[in-house]
């Protein structure tokens, strides 16, 4: 049992994080912080003091570091839900294609090109077409 089971280990599906109950427990404070960024007033406060804002929401030091560094993969690994993490990305002017590139080791342009070519057909985390 652990609360630090790496994301994606629920099934034998490499490269596929499953946002399950344990993940959501780990990420709750951070995800609530992301959700708060829907309001302009909160975005302003966040940008004025990111670390202070994270502490207000009770993020762990690792989560705070991931947020400050914009380490998107770490945010997912530390319990972030992609729909919540996306709120921070939007605030930064980043797209879901940019995040897709980060998660797959591509630039945003490469990721967009892969989508326009019909999407990625890899299974089990391996590229096979």
Partner 1 sequence: MAEVVWGLATSHVPSIGAAMDRGKTEDPNWKALFDGYAPARAWLAEHRPDVAVVVYNDHANGIDLDVVPTFAIGTAEHYPVADEGFGRRPVPDVVGDADLSLHLLESLVDEGFDLTVFQELDVDHGLTVPLSVWTPDPGEAWPCPVVPLLVNVIQYPQPTAARCYALGQALGRAIRSYPEDQKVALLGTGGMSHQLAGARAGFINPEFDAMWMEAIETDPARLAALSREELIRQAGSEGIELIMWLIMRGAMDERITKVHSSYFVPASNTAAGIALFDNRAPQPA
Binding site for partner 1 (CB under 8 A): 7-8, 10-11, 13-21, 24, 28, 31-32, 34-35, 37-39, 43, 76, 81-87, 90-91, 95-97, 99-100, 103-105, 111, 114-116, 118-122, 125
Q: Which is nearer to partner 1, 53 or 111 (CB)?
A: 111
| Rounded CA separation 124/22 (Å) | 23
Least separation in angstroms between CB 47 and partner 1: 13
Half-sphere exposure of 115 (CA within 13 A, CB side): 13
Least separation in angstroms between CB 54 and partner 1: 17
Q: Shortest CA distance to 17 belongs to which of 66, 93, 82?
A: 82
Q: Which is nearer to partner 1, 45 or 120 (CB)?
A: 120
Q: Is 30 exposed, middle or buried (0-12, 13-18, 19+ CB in 10 A)?
A: buried
């Amino acid at each position: 049992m652990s609360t630090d089971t790496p994301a994606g280990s629920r099934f034998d599906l490499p490269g596929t994080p499953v946002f399950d109950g344990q993940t959501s427990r780990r990420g709750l404070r951070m995800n609530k912080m992301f959700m708060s960024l829907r309001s302009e007033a909160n975005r302003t406060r966040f940008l004025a003091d990111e670390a202070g804002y994270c502490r207000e929401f009770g993020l762990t030091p690792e989560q705070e570091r991931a947020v400050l560094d914009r380490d998107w993969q770490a945010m997912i690994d530390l319990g972030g839900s992609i729909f919540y993490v996306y709120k921070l990305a939007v605030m930064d002017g980043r797209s879901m294609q940019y995040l897709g590139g980060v998660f797959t080791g591509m630039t945003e342009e490469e990721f967009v090109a892969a989508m326009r070519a019909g999407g990625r057909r890899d299974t089990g985390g391996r590229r096979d077409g």
